[in-house]
Amino acid sequence: MTQSPPPQDPPQIGIRLVVAHDDVTRRVDLQLVGSRGVAVEDGLVTTFEASRLWPTVRAVLPELAHLRADPHGLPSPDPDRRPGEGWDRECRAMVSVAVASLPGGEVALRTWFATDDELWSATPLPDGRTDLRLAAPGAVADLLIWDVTGAMEVLVAAAEVAS
């Protein structure tokens, strides 16, 4: 008698969204499988169409226009500008997004800090420092879509190799 192989989870994309604003931190785990998505926060499960990923994420973000802006594909308005003295005290929100293809993909991690009127991207450098750069409104949406698209490409490539 031959045994069938154990069932395997379908390819999927996992996203962890962490948002800190007004002394409240929210963690939302999202999962995309095919054209469907599920968001889990504090045990509450919400389903959505994968095509509605950005509106689902945007609904979790604080009411800061430059943080919630739709994707525009715009470059930084001033890529050489660095935050000034006291910048950290002006921050009103932090958003961190991790995207991974499952099984086996690498994790893309992005972090932004928002003041009342600016959005800053924080990128860890290999030497342990953090590069802070002014980001354009819509950068959160742009890079979420970019990272999810990259994760989908990893899954497609893995499926092609397996077939």
Tell me: the pLDDT tens digits for 3-55?
Answer: 655 556 677 899 999 999 999 999 999 999 989 999 999 999 999 999 999 99
Q: What are phi and psi of 83, to 5 degrees?
A: -65, 145
Q: Would you say residue 133 lies in a domain?
A: yes
Q: What are phi and psi of 24, to 5 degrees?
A: -125, 135
Q: Would you say residue 5 lies in a domain?
A: no
Provide mean pLDDT across the span 70-83: 90
Provide mean pLDDT across the span 82-103: 91
Q: Would you say residue 3 lies in a domain?
A: no
Q: Would you say residue 7 lies in a domain?
A: no
CA atoms of 9 and 135, how far apart (whole Å): 37
Q: Is the pLDDT of residue 93 over 80?
A: yes
138 vs 158: which has the higher pLDDT: 138
pLDDT tens-digit map of 100-139: 988 777 888 999 999 999 999 998 888 999 989 999 999 9
Report the half-sphere exposure of 143 (CA within 13 A, side-chain side). Answer: 22
Amino acid present at 113: F
Q: Would you say residue 91 lies in a domain?
A: yes
Q: Would you say residue 4 lies in a domain?
A: no
Q: Would you say residue 67 lies in a domain?
A: yes
Q: Is the pLDDT of residue 92 over 60?
A: yes
Q: Is the pLDDT of residue 85 over 80?
A: yes
**Residue 68, domain extent:** 12-162
Q: Would you say residue 19 lies in a domain?
A: yes
The answer, yes or no, to whether the previous bond of 103 is cis (omega within 30 of 0) is yes
Q: Is the pLDDT of residue 63 over 90?
A: yes
- The confidence score (pLDDT) of residue 162 equals 75
- The confidence score (pLDDT) of residue 94 equals 97
Tell me, letter by letter, the H, E, C secondary structure of the chain.
Answer: CCCCCCCCCCCEEEEEEEEEECCEEEEEEEEEECCEEEEEECCEEEEEEHHHHHHHHHCCCCCCHHHHCCCCCCCCCCCCCCCCCCHHHHCCEEEEEEEEEECCCCEEEEEEEECCCCEEEEEECCCCCEEEEEECCCHHHHHHHHHHHHHHHHHHHHHHHHC
How many independent structural domains does the chain possess?
1
* CA-wise closest residue to 114 among 22, 3, 45: 22
